[in-house]
Structure 1
Amino acid sequence: MRTSARIVVILAAIAVVAAAAFYYLRPGMLTPVSGAPQLSASTQLINKGEYLARIGDCIACHTQPTGIAFAGGRAMHTPFGALYVPNITPDDETGIGLWTSDEFYRMMHSGLARNGSLLYPAMPYPQYTQVTRADSDAIYAYLMSITPVKQKNREHELRFPYNNRDLLIGWRTLYFKEGEYKPDPKQSVDWNRGAYLVKGLGHCAMCHTAVNALGGSSEAKAFEGGMIPNQNWYAPSLTSNKEAGLGNWTIKEITDLLQSGVSHRGTVYGPMAEVVFNSLQYMTDDDAKAMAVYLKALPQKEESAPPTSQARLVSPETMELGRKVYVAQCVMCHGDNGRGQPPAYPPLAGNQSITMETPVNSIRMVLNGGYPPGTKKNPRPHGMPPFSHILNDDEVAAVTTYIRVAWGNTGTPVNAKQVNDLRILLPE
């Protein structure tokens, strides 16, 4: 009897709930909530900071290849010795846990550590100085939100006299100009946003501008290209029609290259592939377009005379050897006429990155091969195998020469010594 009574009570309760639900949830009584749930102001700030830290590519330097994100310890080899990147997780003892937002901004804006010491410019504060206080605070909020990692920082191993930080006073006088980015009222919103990202967080000029013996660069020569120290890759000029000038690229071709690593005009390899993988693929479409607008608008330097094919400078024997190697190893992907199968297999004919004055990147690709980065918009990239174990120095020189002068290309010949110099330098 007691069991039956319980069942009756339960059924009655269910009936009451059902009746209430029918009344309160009948059509027209409630308006569905559309869109995503509202985020708190602090969560929005942290999300913004995470995005900006991606654009700044902070993880690339502050993380060892097999280490914990942002825990530091990675060696950065320079002509002056090795620098070891610090821990920037919010650990109180070994990271930045005790830093204030003011101290973090001073580091970004002025290149000063928490204790006031001068930072070496491997930390790109000459570019980060252009970052606004609001964006700096957002990055700070994000870094303070990640899991602290207790990992002691390693002392730099710089040769004398470069281990004397006081010398940086002179360097900063010559090469550092402090100041946030100021929009140009004569330019469009997209141009200004692109300039802010390229010059500031993107720190593109750090690679695409030549550095001198002191590790400094001239603002007047920004984006004119240069060798990346200790990496043995050449970052091409973005202002030269003989290299990677973007004046005749479409906005879509530039944004495709930035976000996915491939476009119908070319493919990124080497250090730029890492930048796309770690950073640029996470850009919004609007920011990618803004960067493309700014990069396309960079003044293009016209050469005094139109370049011509250099095939006449190559001996018939070298051209024939290069052609045979090309047919045996390259033609399947890049075609008889060098037109490739873009975007999977980039064209070699008419490709400015192939015909640059320096053949370093072309030689590196033949020797070491490479893959464009796997990105959200190109998750399964087609790569190029290495040939260093198959071809000797003469064969590499011949095939590199062939692709630099065939099909009307205007590159210069390559010799075996240039190949050997790069072969003995193992990639990092």
Structure 2
Amino acid sequence: MRTLTCLYVGLLALLVGAGSALAQPEFDQVERGRYLAVVGDCSACHTADPAKPFAGGFRIDTPFGALLGANITPDVVTGIGNWTFDDFQRAMSEGIGHGGKRLYGAMPFTAYTKMTQQDNRDLWAYLQTLQPIANEVNTNQLPFPFNIRTSLLVWDWLNFDQGEFKPNPMKSVQWNRGAYLVEGPGHCGTCHTPKNPLGGDKNSHFLQGNNLGAWWAPDITNNDHSGIGLWTEEDLISYLRTGVNRFVIASGPMAEEVEHSSQHWHNADLKAVAVYLKSDKIQQPAPQALSADDSRMVAGKAIYFDRCSACHNSAGTGEPNIFPRLADNPLIRAANPTSLVNVVLAGSRAGSTASRPTAPAMPSFAWNLNDEQVSNVLTYIRNSWGNAAEPVKPAEVQRLRKNLQP
């Protein structure tokens, strides 16, 4: 009897082991897909209600009107439950969804086209494991004539280059991995590349900064004046992992990206992205700083020492990891001051990450600084302590202030 029991237990162990071995590749594929969904920050556009993950409805405001993120749960009626993998592959690589419906560029298929078919298979496998959620979403909220999808034939012809990422044989494996992540699933150019009048990427200015309404997605090319040229690879990795480095603290949409996406990336992938972004030095001429006796500088200095210096210090050096450094900071010198104006008017709170769960914040000054005062203090900051940039105009402040009002 003891022998039969041992034999039974041994046979059961073999069967369980065999089953686990057979199930492991499927589990690995789903896990790879889950990671890709995090890298692509899919939830940012496809989750409006945290109680309904990936069920769509998130509003995306474009210069042409609003679009809503689609339901990508496997619900048969309102999601992608009746799609095949081929439908999904075509949406990712061609921008054409189920039934031949052309997708708007707010769904960044212009970047996802670079993803490998295997990565798309893994992502598809993960999406099939999601809880199906019935949530009807009318994605197209655009006014006429932009709501006519046949017009996208022309848009695609002008703005879309289909094709999977091709590694550069002259570069390292690590560089190519970084390029793939930035240009493909990470779709960094969707926010950081300036757009043409039709909303397509100006690829000749790849990653050189772009306006996002109340925010400016900054230049992340390797130039010293307004990009990340002064950052080290370690600075960049720290920023993507924690939302903080010696130059800046992430705020606005980037704080959300760090919180929901990049803090969860594998260390090797963060390193690869840093290697790629820091690989080619870009020379950019720096403007001349305004004279210290310029009336805007004089007025701005008085406001700075009254309202700002307690946190950012009299020399603009800030406090590491708490209050951002303003001195000799490329982001302060950005060609577009929108984010700076928005932070002063509305205040800001950094994203919360696992390594820095207590997020520092800046108060709003909209209630006690008028448009001219805000423009003067930012003009002073942008032209002091090694910075040099165009003055901020009161009209720019006024425009953003109106957008803050309900």
TM-score, normalized by the shorter chain, greater than 0.5: yes
Correspondences of 1:158-169 after superposition (within 5 Å): 158-169=142-153
Structure 1 residues 15-414: aligned runs within 5 Å: 40-65=24-49, 68-228=52-212, 231-239=213-221, 241=223, 243-303=225-285, 306-312=286-292, 314-315=294-295, 318-414=296-392
**Cα distance in 2, alignment partners of residues 136 and 130 from structure 1:** 10
- Structure 2: distance between partners of 1:211 and 1:301: 22
The 10-residue stretch of structure 1 (231-240 or 195-204) with the greater mean CA deviation from structure 2: 231-240
Deviation at 1:408, TM superposition (A): 3.3
CA–CA separation in structure 2 for the residues paired with 1:248 and 1:348: 14
CA 418–353 in structure 1, closer or farther in 2 if over 3 Å, else same = same
Structure-2 residue corresponding to 1:25: none
Q: Distance in 1 between matches of 2:293 and 2:215?
A: 25
Structure 1 stretch displaced more, 256-265 or 216-225: 216-225
> Whole-Å Cα distance in 1 between the matches of residues 373 and 321 of structure 2?
27
Deviation by residue 1:137-184 (Cα, 9 ceiling, x = unmatched): 111111110111011122512122211111111111111111111111
The runs of 4+ residues in structure 1 deviating greater than 6 Å are none
Tell me the distance in 1 between the aligned counterparts of 2:293 and 2:211: 26
Q: What residue is the counterpart of 1:416 in the other structure?
A: 394
Report the alpha carbon displacement of residue 243 of structure 1 after superposing the two structures with TM.
Answer: 4.9
C-alpha change, 1:105 and 1:313, in structure 2 (3 Å) is farther
Cα displacement (A) at 1:199: 0.1
**Cα distance in 1, alignment partners of residues 31 and 172 from structure 2:** 27
Q: 1:425 to 1:139 in 2, by over 3 A?
A: same
CA RMSD, aligned part only?
A: 2.2
User: How many angstroms does 1:203 deviate by?
Assistant: 0.6
SS at 1:263 equivalent: coil
Correspondence for 1:5: none
Count of residue correspondences: 389
TM-score, structure 2 as length reference? 0.90
Unaligned runs of 5+ in 2: 3-19
Give CA deviations for 1:281-307 in whole Å, capped at 9, x if unaligned.
11011100001111111441332xx43
| Secondary structure of 2:331's aligned partner | coil
Q: Distance in 2 between matches of 1:67 and 1:425?
A: 29
Q: Which amino acid aligns with 1:162?
A: F
Q: 2-side partners of 1:338 and 1:196: how far apart?
A: 37
Identical aligned residues as a percent: 41
Distance 1:177 1:299, change over 3 A: farther
AA at the equivalent of 1:290: A
The structure whose Rg is larger is 1
TM-score, structure 1 as length reference: 0.86
Q: Which sections of structure 1, spanning at least 5 residues, go unmatched?
A: 1-15, 17-36
| Residue 207 (structure 1) shift | 1.3
The structure-2 alpha-carbon separation of the partners of 1:298 and 1:168, relative to structure 1 and needing over 3 Å to count, comes to farther
Task: For 2:253, give the aligned amino acid.
Answer: P
3-state SS of paired residue (2:383): helix
Q: Is the Cα contact below 8 Å between 2:341 and 2:374 reproduced in 1? A: yes
Q: Secondary structure at the match of 1:262?
A: coil
